[in-house]
Amino acid sequence: MNVRATVRDHTLGTATLLSVVALALVFAAALRVVPAEALPQAPAAIVDAIPHLNALICTVALATVILGVRAIREGDVDRHRKLMGVTFGLFALFLVAYLYRVSLVGPTEFPATGLLETVYLATLGIHITLAIVCVPLVFYALLLAWSHPVSAIPETNHRKVGKIAAPLWAISFALGVVVYLFVYVIA
């Protein structure tokens, strides 16, 4: 069985399945479905470092998305593919670290009140909404790129979906950094 051909023939279904699994994992972690005691326990210093590492990952991912978009606009398909692959790898690393930490300690509470809390919650809400919307778009665009030869990509929805997914993904990464700044620097 050729996995690439199967994905090519069922890209939308594969992207949908991967999206459902990824989002189920996020909600399971946020709702702490898996007891923290069932997870391997990292030292507290590592768990405490995850938000700082994830802010760095988001910053680098934001840069790689922007550079990836620039590369394709310049016609450099190979560089575009590499940068978007790196971005997805960074996103996966972020997600694993985030899910691990949230599963262990729960979501981080915002320590301030008033207008600052209102602005924080609005920013967080937009960030979460964009992240949820991006998951299926990114999976679909990446699966199209992975399962088709470069010469066939113009015949797919890759470009159309990518034009929506890339800026939303970039904004989500940027807002992730803003959320971090709110919690760990501003408040």
| Segments making up each domain of the chain, as ranges | 3-186
Distance, in Å, from the CA atom of 87 to the CA atom of 10, rounded to the nearest integer, reads 24
Distance, in Å, from the CA atom of 26 to the CA atom of 15, rounded to the nearest integer, reads 16
Dump pLDDT digits (tens) for 5-41.
999 999 999 999 999 999 998 888 888 888 888 899 9
Q: What is the DSSP letter of 2?
A: -
How many Cβ atoms are within 10 Å of 5's Cβ, its own excluded? 10
Dump pLDDT digits (tens) for 47-92.
999 999 999 999 999 999 999 999 999 999 999 999 999 999 999 9
